[in-house]
A and B are shown apart, each in its own frame.
Chain A
Amino acid sequence: MDKQTPLVEMKNMGISFGGVHAVDDVSVDLYPGEVVGLLGHNGAGKSTLIKMLSGAYQGTGDIYVNGEKVEIHNPRDARKHNIETIYQTLALADNLDAAANLFLGRELMTPAGTLDDDAMEAETRKIMGRLNPNFQKFSSPVSALSGGQRQSVAIARAVYFNARILIMDEPTAALGPQETQMVAELIQQLKAEGIGIFLIDHDVHAVLELCDRASVMKNGKLVGTVNIPDVTDDDLLSMIILGKKPGEKAAG
């Protein structure tokens, strides 16, 4: 795996808000077809770190995509590099329908320069047919959808635009067991297509089940990155809570 060029490398990332180092000199990377978990308490800095990759925040440090240094100043830049984000809040406009949300900021237009709502709905029907065949509410505002349906709209938005790098912020936090299973299957499917996924979560078991590697953060700093097959849930918990790598623990 090390011979390959990483899809993304974030080197020495840092950002502070009002004197507090929310992220302090953190480096992580992600390879094609890999799921890397980002673990940590609330406020550990994992969401902030990832928002620098998705263009919502600007901090210090270097970002490399496919080995090339890139500048990401806003969400549009991130999308240009095929980095798609599924936010914890899903970032859906509740008053608009699924198609309008899916294409928000990247609308399909008619030759006359007006919105092509019918084409957008047709495309939405296609992709939803693949991701969530039970989905039928195409003309209702997304506020009328269930948690899982909303989640599938948010995922469809990322997948439709050929994401190479997918960021998922607690994708199963608001879901029931069945819907969680659906998301897990979807992650396997995306992995198989060679997409790299950053999975932010504070549920250790979800990470153990879904991820290949995990990077743990505490108080804005990186505790360490481990291969999932090499660690137990207790190892991860002690990294999260005590900020100690498994090796250190054995030595101390």
Chain B
Amino acid sequence: MQNNAKNFFSKLGLDTRLLGMIGALVVLWIVFDVITGGRFLTPRNLFNLSVQTASVAVMATGMVFVIVTRNIDLSVGSMLGFIGMVVAALQVQVLPDMLGLGNPMIWIIGVLAAISLGAMLGAFQGWIIGYLTVPAFIVTLGGFLVYRGAMWWVTEGQTQAPLDATFRLLGGGAEGTLGVTLSWAFGVISAVAAVALMLMSRRRKAGHGFTVKPIWAEGILMGLAAGLILCFVWVMNSYPIAKGAMKRIAKADGIELTEGMVWYHGVAIPVVILLVVTVGMTIVASRTRFGRYVYATGGNPEAAELSGINTRLLTVKIFALMGALTGIASIIASARLNAVDVGLGTLDELRVIAAAVIGGTALSGGFGTIYGAVIGALIMQSLQSGMASVGVDAPLQSIVVGIVLVFAVWIDIVYRRRTGQ
């Protein structure tokens, strides 16, 4: 029986680590749902969970590359805060005077500024690490202090609010979603794309004469992928928008509200951003030279160099990418809160590192997956939201998260030893 199951999963060709993480997540969700008497696995809570996970998960995808190459980035939380403050000040104090309040260019400039500022700061740190050979731990510890301090100087500690109305949509909320119809369209397109990709890969492999999975296994995987995507959309589309928000939206769009009318959220925009980032980073990791060199350098820096890879420039690129993703995360985090205060992003660096590590990224370098880091972020956020909704005190929440982190890494080490990686 056990052998049958093992055979079944090996035919499916699914990573056992992925199965383990999904298993842990499912157990966590069910336990919280039982304890809260069914309040955890509701469309409302899952919607909030997805939005809360987005910012940390976006950064965690970049942290995978950083850790895979045996580096670390302790500065992302402070950098997120600093970028958030600069971009918020731009929206609140500078751009409205230049362009007029509510000008559609404001949010575009804000987004570009956040991403490019992040990429520049990251590239600079990467240059110090790669070319001046100061250890990443020290450089980013310095960055951690510098950005947090610099953040204060931008506005002398003043909180910046409210942000541009369009920019705010990038943080989710009742307005910041795709809405029901678009969500379905997004879901169907994603599902079709996933199935098409799997079919193409299969045909290519068969074309080279490699053995491919049995067709039933491929069919199950396609069904699972499409099913999960559509199921997620369905849940998001079942979360009704509150009456107050409905009135606000109706007024803004000039729609007459009638009694008994119900609108639903759909997939939140930050979640769409996260999915795009995840797919993009997965392609970079597995299908590009850059990604290949990241893993090769992590596995054996000397071999990478002897193969003609410029590992110094690679370090600059990796940190620049981390910075750009921190910029995106900063957009999501500040837009969600509709305000930036000097505490924005505090401790995020540790959440991001924990997400990557729980997701199977080895600090010794060479191993780590993008989807793992995203699931890691989801596990961390589920744990925290779950405990909050059960009513666990904040200090105890920290204790539990800390213990889970150490436990997860120990499990990972045991797993690696067993599978001989």
A-side interface residues toward B, CB under 8 Å? Answer: 54, 56, 74-76, 79, 85, 87, 89-96, 100-101, 104-105, 107, 109, 113-115, 118-119, 121-122, 141, 143-144
Cβ of B298 < 8 Å from any Cβ of A? yes
Given contacts A75-B308, A76-B308, contact A93 B208 (CB under 8 A): no
In the complex, are the beta carbons of A74 and B308 less than 8 A apart?
yes
In the complex, are the beta carbons of A105 and B309 less than 8 A apart?
yes
**Per a CB cutoff under 8 Å, which of B209, B210, B304 touches A104?**
B304
In the bound complex, CA of A85 to CA of B380 (Å): 46
In the complex, are the beta carbons of B308 and A93 less than 8 A apart?
no
Given contacts A107-B289, A141-B421, A143-B421, contact A91 B367 (CB under 8 A): no
User: For residue A114, which residues in chain B have a CB less than 8 angstroms away from its CB?
Assistant: 283, 287-288
Residue of B nearest to A119 (CB): B208
In the complex, are the beta carbons of A118 and B307 less than 8 A apart?
no
User: For residue B292, which residues in chain A have a CB less than 8 angstroms away from its CB?
Assistant: 96, 100, 104, 107, 115
Given contacts A56-B306, A91-B307, contact A96 B289 (CB under 8 A): no
User: For residue B304, which residues in chain A have a CB less than 8 angstroms away from its CB?
Assistant: 93, 104
In the bound complex, CA of A94 to CA of B197 (Å): 29
In the complex, are the beta carbons of B302 and A89 less than 8 A apart?
yes
| 6 nearest A-B pairs in the assembled complex, by CB-CB distance | A105-B307, A95-B299, A93-B299, A95-B366, A91-B303, A76-B308
In the bound complex, CA of A92 to CA of B303 (Å): 6
User: For residue A91, which residues in chain B have a CB less than 8 angstroms away from its CB?
Assistant: 300, 302-303, 306-307
Residue of A nearest to B201 (CB): A118
**Per a CB cutoff under 8 Å, which of A93, A107, A119 touches B303?**
A93
A82 to chain B, nearest CB (A): 14
**Per a CB cutoff under 8 Å, which of A87, A94, A118 touches B208?**
A118
In the complex, are the beta carbons of A95 and B367 less than 8 A apart?
yes
**Per a CB cutoff under 8 Å, which of B286, B296, B308 touches A79?**
B308
Interface size on B, as a range, is 20 to 34
In the complex, are the beta carbons of A104 and B307 less than 8 A apart?
yes
**Per a CB cutoff under 8 Å, which of A79, A85, A95 touches B298?**
A95
A160 to chain B, nearest CB (A): 13
Given contacts A75-B308, A115-B288, A143-B421, contact A95 B208 (CB under 8 A): no
Residue of B nearest to A76 (CB): B308
In the bound complex, CA of A105 to CA of B311 (Å): 12
User: For residue A74, which residues in chain B have a CB less than 8 angstroms away from its CB?
Assistant: 308
Residue of A nearest to B303 (CB): A91
Residue of A nearest to B302 (CB): A91
Cβ of B420 < 8 Å from any Cβ of A? yes
In the complex, are the beta carbons of B366 and A118 less than 8 A apart?
no
In the bound complex, CA of A176 to CA of B366 (Å): 29
**Per a CB cutoff under 8 Å, which of B209, B306, B420, B421 touches A75?**
B306
In the complex, are the beta carbons of A95 and B306 less than 8 A apart?
no
B-side interface residues toward A, CB under 8 Å? Answer: 204-205, 207-210, 283, 286-289, 291-292, 295-300, 302-309, 366-367, 420-421
Given contacts A75-B307, A75-B308, A87-B306, contact A118 B205 (CB under 8 A): yes
A172 to chain B, nearest CB (A): 20
Given contacts A104-B307, A121-B210, contact A93 B289 (CB under 8 A): no
In the bound complex, CA of A44 to CA of B243 (Å): 83
Given contacts A56-B305, A75-B307, A118-B204, 11 further A-B contacts (CB under 8 A): A75-B308, A89-B302, A89-B303, A91-B303, A93-B295, A93-B296, A93-B303, A93-B304, A96-B299, A104-B292, A122-B208
A98 to chain B, nearest CB (A): 13
In the complex, are the beta carbons of B306 and A85 less than 8 A apart?
yes
User: For residue B302, which residues in chain A have a CB less than 8 angstroms away from its CB?
Assistant: 89, 91
10 cross-chain CB contacts under 8 A: A75-B308, A76-B308, A91-B300, A93-B303, A95-B367, A96-B295, A114-B287, A115-B288, A118-B210, A119-B208
A223 to chain B, nearest CB (A): 28
In the complex, are the beta carbons of A104 and B296 less than 8 A apart?
yes
User: For residue A75, which residues in chain B have a CB less than 8 angstroms away from its CB?
Assistant: 305-308
User: For residue B283, which residues in chain A have a CB less than 8 angstroms away from its CB?
Assistant: 114
User: For residue B299, which residues in chain A have a CB less than 8 angstroms away from its CB?
Assistant: 93-96
In the bound complex, CA of A163 to CA of B367 (Å): 32
In the bound complex, CA of A119 to CA of B208 (Å): 8
In the complex, are the beta carbons of B308 and A105 less than 8 A apart?
yes
A136 to chain B, nearest CB (A): 12
User: For residue A92, which residues in chain B have a CB less than 8 angstroms away from its CB?
Assistant: 300, 303
In the bound complex, CA of A93 to CA of B307 (Å): 10
In the complex, are the beta carbons of A100 and B296 less than 8 A apart?
yes
A154 to chain B, nearest CB (A): 10
Among B287, B302, B307, B420, find the residue whose CB has the most chain A CB atoms closer than 10 A. Answer: B307
**Per a CB cutoff under 8 Å, which of B289, B300, B306 touches A94?**
B300
In the bound complex, CA of A95 to CA of B292 (Å): 11
A230 to chain B, nearest CB (A): 35
In the bound complex, CA of A76 to CA of B309 (Å): 9
A47 to chain B, nearest CB (A): 13
User: For residue A96, which residues in chain B have a CB less than 8 angstroms away from its CB?
Assistant: 292, 295-296, 299
In the complex, are the beta carbons of B287 and A94 less than 8 A apart?
no
In the bound complex, CA of A244 to CA of B287 (Å): 56
User: For residue B303, which residues in chain A have a CB less than 8 angstroms away from its CB?
Assistant: 89-93, 101, 104
Residue of B nearest to A87 (CB): B306
B305 to chain A, nearest CB (A): 8
In the bound complex, CA of A112 to CA of B206 (Å): 20
In the bound complex, CA of A121 to CA of B366 (Å): 20
B183 to chain A, nearest CB (A): 29
In the complex, are the beta carbons of B306 and A93 less than 8 A apart?
no
In the complex, are the beta carbons of A121 and B308 less than 8 A apart?
no
In the bound complex, CA of A112 to CA of B274 (Å): 24
User: For residue A76, which residues in chain B have a CB less than 8 angstroms away from its CB?
Assistant: 308
A127 to chain B, nearest CB (A): 15
B70 to chain A, nearest CB (A): 12
In the bound complex, CA of A118 to CA of B300 (Å): 23
User: For residue B305, which residues in chain A have a CB less than 8 angstroms away from its CB?
Assistant: 56, 75
User: For residue A121, which residues in chain B have a CB less than 8 angstroms away from its CB?
Assistant: 208, 210
Residue of B nearest to A157 (CB): B307
